[in-house]
Amino acid sequence: MNNSRAILVIVFVIAFFGVLLYRLFTVQILESNNFKYYAKRQQMTIEKIKAERGLIYDRNNVLLVYNRNDVSFFVDLRMLSQKGKKKIADKFSSVFGKPKRYYRALMSDSGKTICIERKSSTQAALQLKDFKVTGLFSKEDPTRVYYYQDLASHLLGYVGSDYHGMDGIAKSYDNLLSGDDGSMVVIRDAIGDMVSVEEQETKPAVPGDNIYLTIDKSYQDILEQELKNGLQKYEGTSAVGIIMNPNTGEVLALANSPDFDPNYYWKFTDTTRRDRAVTDTYEPGSTFKSFSIAALLDKNLVNLNEKVFVENGRYKFKNVYITDAHKNEWLTARGVIEESSNIGMSKLIQRLGDDTFYKYLRAFGFGNYTSINLPGEVRGLLRKPDEWGRVTKEFMSFGYAVMVTPIQLITGYCALVNGGILYQPQIIEKIIKHDGEIVYNDSPKEIRRVISEETSERVRNLLVGVVKEGTGTNAQISNVLVGGKTGTSQKLIDGKYSKFDYNSSFVGFFPANAPKIVCLILVNSPAIGRYGGSVAAPIFKNVAERIIALNPGAYSEQPQQEKTPVPEVLITQNSNVKHNLNYISRNNDTTKMLLSLTNSGTMPNLKNLSLRDAITVLSKLGIKYNIHGSGNVDSQSIQPGEKIQKGLSCILDCKEPEIAGAAVY
């Protein structure tokens, strides 16, 4: 009996060791590669090293956007014991100040990984550095910080939950700002704690490029504050403001009101986050008259002193009525702009051919992208002449039947006043890699010449008159000469023009004889004031005065350049214009007479000479000159008969000649 038991035990032992040896053989020999793979996968993981997102500065190196190295904490509930849950609730409650029951409730589920504290500060994470509980782990979770909260929010954009750019600069330049993520091989123990890092297998992350914007933080702050004040004062629903350097196309400030805080972007609606400066179109109203008169002046089809019959404020044209806000019987062409007469403008534009007018508007950039490189930009609406109706051109001349974006309008105005050159609007001054290498440097991007320098100068003078004498007097600034144009357009709602909802706008520039700043203000549906001159012009004035106060010397009037303006001569090349204007052109006898004036050694009488002829005489005499106005010489600072001495400088005051028979009926 005892022998039988011994034999049975021996058999079982031999069988056990046989199975054990077979299993060891299977694990060590037959399936060793598979088990090695699973062991490595469990103990060794490849983890991403998140690249630091590039910083954003303004043009004066003021930091606007940076990164905060936050940490998020997670628990794997499959590995977490009840004792571990209690320890975590106690510790996290003491560090973050939340009730213990809050953390216990989060950990009440089972079988999944949850986040118990998202984006904790570095200081809080340090307090938990030595706190170890099986199933608790942390990950770096950087936060994009917009230091000035809502400042330039529509321009800067924001980053989403995946840390990629959404809207604004954040989206347009996401690839450059994001950098290149790295990786590292991490060895962990059985409970998931890090044991070591394989340094040789580590690929460091490359930080994103730093971007320097063209905007000036001080200008941006001023613009946003004044837009908010204006909305409150005039009870508008929204507003847009843009400030540009007309000589380079640089955007110095761009704002929408209401705005939003990119740090908490999810708290705001899509409508609030939309950059209306590039995504929304509107009929610009009378601000568009500046482009119409520029085209007429550039083609020498209008004299600014000619009189236009403006029908006492109501004009029937091809069975459609065109009305003016102010009832006048006659206005000069200059007065048509200063008083913002729709009737006068619609009559004058009839001298310009359809194709020619269209080409000028296209040349100013309407109906096309400005290529400002902000997401969501639209082209607006500028129909081709073959799509025009019987009165389309006339209505377009004063800003209806055409749709523009605010960025298009101000870009076109820059070309109007800078000498006639259209520039692409710029928002990036430079881009620099993390190691200091400059990868992009801003330079003005000239698109085309639209109008001549002489035409640009005459338009500037016209728009100065709008502020001095016309609808834009509320934009006047002491000690700095300002030009600009008001605009008031009815909003098209449900297919009809509203009698209550208007777009009120003003585009101004200063200093007027050598503009450095162009500023557009657009207020949507103001309940008080309604007109651009009553609503937008005062907001512009407040913005301009505060900008000038930052550096008064930078915006003082510049010396008048010595150049020959084009005399006010109307050339009626359009067969639709039935006017026979007489004017004196230069001929050989006139040239001989001018040269004879230079031989006496005394100052000749230049009064009533054309400006071109007067400059010819002064140049021959070697006398420097400054010019005030345009047209014919009305007075001269060096009196006739005075002896000419070396180094003299003569000031010529000019005015435009009255031309008989130039009235438009």
pLDDT digits (tens, 9 = 90+) for 145-198: 999 999 999 999 999 888 899 999 999 999 999 988 877 666 655 545 544 555
**Domains by residue range for the chain, with CATH:** 70-139 (3.30.70.2110), 563-665 (3.30.10.20)
| CA–CA gap between residue 385 and residue 355 (Å, rounded) | 6
Can you give the pLDDT at residue 615? 73
Q: 22 in helix, strand or coil? A: helix
Q: Report pLDDT digits (tens) over 261-275.
A: 999 999 999 999 999
Size (the chain), residues: 665
What are the residues whose beta carbons fall under 8 Å from the beta carbon of 173, sequence distance 6 or more? 165, 211, 428, 431
Give residue 557's identity as a one-letter amino acid code.
Answer: E
Residues in CB range of 294: below 8 A, 6 or more apart: 360, 416, 451, 455, 456, 459
Q: Is 254 helix (H, G, I), strand (E, B) or coil?
A: strand
Which of 78-82, 158-162, 415-419, 613-617 is predicted with the least confidence, judged by mean pLDDT?
613-617
- Please determine, for residue 451, whether its predicted confidence score (pLDDT) is greater than 60: yes
| pLDDT, position 447 | 97
pLDDT of residue 663: 32
Is residue 665 pLDDT above 50, yes or no? no
Surface-to-core class of residue 4, CB atoms within 10 Å of its CB (0-12 exposed, 13-18 middle, 19+ buried): exposed
The pTM of the full predicted model, rounded to 2 decimals, is 0.76
Structure tokens at 511: 């200093």
Give the span between the Cα atoms of 110 and 66, in whole angstroms: 38
| pLDDT tens string 281-312 | 999 999 999 999 999 999 999 999 999 999 99
Predicted local distance difference test score (pLDDT) of residue 578 = 35
pLDDT surpassing 50 at residue 19: yes
* Residue 519 confidence (pLDDT) above 80: yes
Which pLDDT value is given to residue 606?
Answer: 82
Best CA proximity match to 579, nearest among 322, 348, 256: 348
Q: With a cut of 60, say whether residue 527 has pLDDT above it.
A: yes
Which secondary structure element, helix H or strand E, spans residue 332, and what is its range? strand 330-332
- % residues pLDDT > 70 (the chain): 84
**Cα–Cα dist 188/43, whole Å:** 5
Instruction: Decide which of 578 and 210 is more confident.
Output: 210
What does each C-alpha distance from 518 to 59, 298, 422, 507 come to in angstroms?
18, 22, 14, 7
Taking each helix axis as running N to C, give the angle between helix 406-417 and helix 289-298, from 0 to 180 degrees, rounded to the nearest 10.
40
- Half-sphere exposure at residue 611, Cβ-oriented, CA atoms within 13 angstroms: 24
pLDDT grade for 588, boundaries at 50, 70 and 90: very low
In this predicted structure, which of 377-391, 495-509, 554-568, 598-612 has the lowest mean pLDDT? 554-568
Its sign, for the CA torsion 242, 248, 252, 254, is: positive
For the chain, what is the mean pLDDT?
84
Least confident range of 177-186, 444-453, 601-610, 620-629: 620-629
Mean pLDDT of 83-105: 85
**CA angle 44–50–52, rounded 5-degree value:** 155
- Is the pLDDT confidence value at 362 over 90? yes
**N-term to C-term CA, the chain:** 139
